[in-house]
Amino acid sequence: MASVVPSMRVKVLFFGRLRELTGLAEEAGDLPEGTTLAQVFERYAERYPKLAGFRNSMVVSRNQEFAAWDTRVAAGDEIAFLPPVSGG
């Protein structure tokens, strides 16, 4: 019997053009343990195919800090997908 990978609950946020494109500002989701930020993005890119084209012109944050795409997510994390910033 294959072992079941435990899942963890995270919060995912979208901003700017990414929020407009998905129509999604924020949602809670369950992910398998060990999921990386890149894999979280891929899940959303499957759901919203237009997202895929933005992969190289965006950054991701984990718990309000910019993060590398291969960072592993932990339960309770707040993940955000961020287009190029344009404040000021």
Residues that bind another protein (CB under 8 A): 13, 15-17, 57-61, 64-72, 80, 82-88
| CA distance linking residue 67 with residue 58, whole number of Å | 12
| Distance separating alpha carbons of residues 32 and 54, to the nearest angstrom | 24
CB closer to another protein, 3 vs 52 = 52
Nearer to another protein, 45 or 58 (CB): 58
Min CB(88)–another protein separation in Å? 4
Tokens 């237009």, residue located = 50
Nearer of residues 8 and 59 to another protein, judged by Cβ: 59
Tell me whether strands 78-82 and 65-67 are parallel, antiparallel or unpaired: unpaired
